[in-house]
């Protein structure tokens, strides 16, 4: 099973790293597993985490137009 960094997940999904972090901070996405390595706190994203991010983006954002309008 592969693990990805936050930057890699953002690149794969096609959003900026700050957008992905904002989704985490606002509770729109569940926090992935975290580890401390060399004094830094790192997030390790699994394939399942990556799929959840892709699903969230698909359900809430339109290609090239930003966030979908809520009705």
pLDDT tens for each residue of the chain, 71 residues long: 689 999 999 999 999 999 999 999 999 999 999 999 999 999 999 999 999 999 999 988 876 666 666 66
**CA atoms of 68 and 57, how far apart (whole Å):** 10
Q: CB under 8 Å to 66, separation ≥6 — which residues? A: none
**CA atoms of 2 and 21, how far apart (whole Å):** 20
**CA atoms of 61 and 15, how far apart (whole Å):** 11
Q: CB under 8 Å to 55, separation ≥6 — which residues? A: none
| pTM of the full structure | 0.82
């Amino acid at each position: 099973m592969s693990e990805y960094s936050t930057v890699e997940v953002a690149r794969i999904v096609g959003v900026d790293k700050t957008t992905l972090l904002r989704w985490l901070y606002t509770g729109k996405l569940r926090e992935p597993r975290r580890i401390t390595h060399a004094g830094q706190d790192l997030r390790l994203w699994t394939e399942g985490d990556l799929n959840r991010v892709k699903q969230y983006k698909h359900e809430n954002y339109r290609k090239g137009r930003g966030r979908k309008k809520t009705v």
